[in-house]
Structure 1
Amino acid sequence: MSWLLNIMAGPPLLIIFLRTISIILPRRLAQLASFAAFFLASMIMLGICAMYGVFASIFLRIIGYGGLSQWTVARAFKWTMWLSTGVSFVVTDSGKIEGGRRGGEEALQTRPAVFVGNHQTELDVLMLGCVFPKYISVTAKKSLQWTPVLGWFMALSKTVFIDRANRTTARAAFDGAAKTMHSERQSVFIFPEGTRSYAEKPELLPFKKGAFHLAIQAQVPIVPIVTANYSHVLNVKKKIFNPGAVDVSVLPPIPTKGLTTADVDALVKRTRDAMLDELIRLSHVSGTGNGVPLPRASGRDEDEKAELRKRY
């Protein structure tokens, strides 16, 4: 039994060792040691929370609250990551109001809805842990379904698996998601960029249209969630990690009632423009600006640009 305890104690001791030597090492080596400690701690916390999620999902489904599975595990990941890495994401109010609809915590309570967010690095999983409202599920590529522990949890917690290489099965998955959204008032979260940007500036990759087709098909609003650029906290390419808090802005819901597939392109543009403006605003609020002027010219009129400056 002692050998098992030694194996379990190994990774935490290694993390402590890496963090300790990062204090005395030269700057570049200290960055690498800190990054390695963060990566190892993140993998351990993800594994622990995924295992917890398997049992939590089974229990919640038995008692009729399966829709809470991902929210429950998200909160567990939030606190374990904060304790082990010192990173957290904090929801802020953008101050923007559209048609009487507010952003911030109020917008997070929209249900059902299609939530969309910008995708920077693997750390966005923690952003979901900090921001996720109740009764929401993520979408994920189908190959993750077969990943031990993590795939089990995702399958049990109503994840919408998408086979991107097969349009027929992908469409069927969205059809099922649209029905579930209405029958169980379950929301869905999607990263419309489709892949991580690893951006060091407030930039967005082109948006894929799946999330917007789903929102129109289900006739539910789009709720944009914008995470400030956090390359100063985690830069995967440069192997840099620093503890810190990252701002997340939730914009007012964008209604889709009455829209058809012919309106998808306009909905994509409207959502992306709003998210890009807010992403740039957040970069200025954080004090960096990233060399991008405020506001960004994105086809908006002067009144909207003035409002953006006011919120800054």
Structure 2
Amino acid sequence: MSFSSILGYFLGGYFALVISLFMLSSVVPVAGFAARTLSAYISIVICATYGVLASIFLRIVGREQIAQWTTARAFKYVMAITIGITFEVDDPKRHLDTVRPAVFIGNHQSELDVLMLGCIFPKYCSVTAKKALKYVPFLGWFMALSGTIFIDRKNSKDARQAMAGAAKEIQTRKQSVYIFPEGTRSYAKDPGLLPFKKGAFHLAVQAGVPIVPVVAANYSHVLYIKDYIFRSGKIPVKVLDPIPTTGLKPEDVDELTRSTRELMLKEIVALTQKVQNRPIAIPATSGDGVVHASGADATLS
């Protein structure tokens, strides 16, 4: 049996299973969770394959800076069809299109944030990754081909050293980056933020570029893994005004991190109140909401 035949049987069975689970979801709600999960996985595979091919082509024609943008847009349209979820972006001043280069930051709730990135990702922007990933087969190749900004943390004793090379790349290539300063997914049922790591803020200060916060409403009513909730829906996202870093020094990073987190938290609560139509108090924060550490691994998200 040929590879194409095996692939055809696999895809046919996969899609039949997904459709069956969707049909069963009206009787067994958890079947809907399984159906959308399987749909999301196959969507990611399809878009990742497209992303590799697009990155190779764009690298050849000298346009690798938009490779991650075009891959992100593929996620937006494919996953809107397969799982019925989209993020509605409120960016009246068109900061996503006009502020460049910049360090874009956002709250990180779950794996669904891949789709959020697909809806908001600026055109000349990339994610960041530690330099060691550059040499990992397939993943590292895609990252390198698509213009990822790599952070060299080898033998670094603090975040400022680790960010030096990345800051220079941002300046010379005029390439923005997108970072989740929480450093990990929160899986929160109610709106909130984990303490912020300072890597994104060190990077913005060193590069002398603005920070642009992007906040998504809490979407536990759409996806909440612990309760097997995975529904279709529209989730609001708001792009806040850029925060300038010109003239700031490393010693200003703690306050910059704290004040930015406080601003984002207020906006997340306001957005969530609007979409869920219920009053929500701003959650209390232990300490100042900033991770205080000197090591690059501890401060870089």
Name the SS for the 1:286 alignment partner: helix
Give the alignment of 1:64-143 within 5 angstroms: 64-93=62-91, 104-140=93-129
User: Taking every aligned residue pair, what percent have the same amino acid on both sides?
Assistant: 55
User: After superposition, what is the alpha-carbon deviation per residue over 1:219-239, rounded to whole angstroms, capped at 9, x for unaligned?
Assistant: 000000001000000001222
Name the structure 2 match of 1:304.
none
Q: What is the aligned length?
A: 282
* Aligned-partner residue type, residue 53 of structure 2: F
- Supply the distance in 1 between the matched residues of 2:33 and 2:51 (Cα, whole angstroms): 26
User: After superposition, what is the alpha-carbon deviation per residue over 1:99-135, rounded to whole angstroms, capped at 9, x for unaligned?
Assistant: xxxx653355210000000000010011000000101
User: After superposition, what is the alpha-carbon deviation per residue over 1:42-85, rounded to whole angstroms, capped at 9, x for unaligned?
Assistant: 11111111111111111111111110000000001110000100
Name the structure 1 match of 2:54.
56
Give the 4+ runs in structure 1 shifted more than 4 A.
Answer: 141-151, 161-166, 168-173
1:207 pairs with one of 196, 202, 209: 196
Give, in angstroms, the shift of residue 148 of structure 1.
Answer: 5.9
2:215–2:238 CA contact under 8 A, matched in 1: yes
Name the SS for the 2:226 alignment partner: coil
* Aligned-partner residue type, residue 73 of structure 2: R
- Supply the distance in 2 between the matched residues of 1:142 and 1:14 (Cα, whole angstroms): 40
- Supply the distance in 1 between the matched residues of 2:41 and 2:55 (Cα, whole angstroms): 20
- Supply the distance in 1 between the matched residues of 2:43 and 2:156 (Cα, whole angstroms): 34
Give the alignment of 1:179-190 within 5 angstroms: 179-190=168-179
* Aligned-partner residue type, residue 53 of structure 1: G
- Supply the distance in 2 between the matched residues of 1:146 and 1:23 (Cα, whole angstroms): 46
Name the structure 1 match of 2:36.
38
- Supply the distance in 2 between the matched residues of 1:211 and 1:173 (Cα, whole angstroms): 11
Give the alignment of 1:1-312 within 5 angstroms: 1=2, 2-25=5-28, 30=29, 32-93=30-91, 104-140=93-129, 149-162=138-151, 167=156, 174-289=163-278, 291-292=280-281
Structure 1: give runs of 5+ residues left out of the alignment: 94-102, 300-312
- Supply the distance in 1 between the matched residues of 2:207 and 2:201 (Cα, whole angstroms): 10
Name the SS for the 2:262 alignment partner: helix
Name the SS for the 1:231 alignment partner: coil
Name the SS for the 2:52 alignment partner: helix
Give, in angstroms, the shift of residue 249 of structure 1.
Answer: 0.4
* Aligned-partner residue type, residue 112 of structure 1: P
User: Residues 165 and 64 (structure 1 numbering): CA distance in 2 closer, same or farther, change over 3 Å?
Assistant: closer
CA RMSD of aligned residues (A): 2.5
* Aligned-partner residue type, residue 11 of structure 2: M
Name the SS for the 2:25 alignment partner: helix
Deviates more, 1:281-290 or 1:252-261: 281-290
Give, in angstroms, the shift of residue 261 of structure 1.
Answer: 0.3
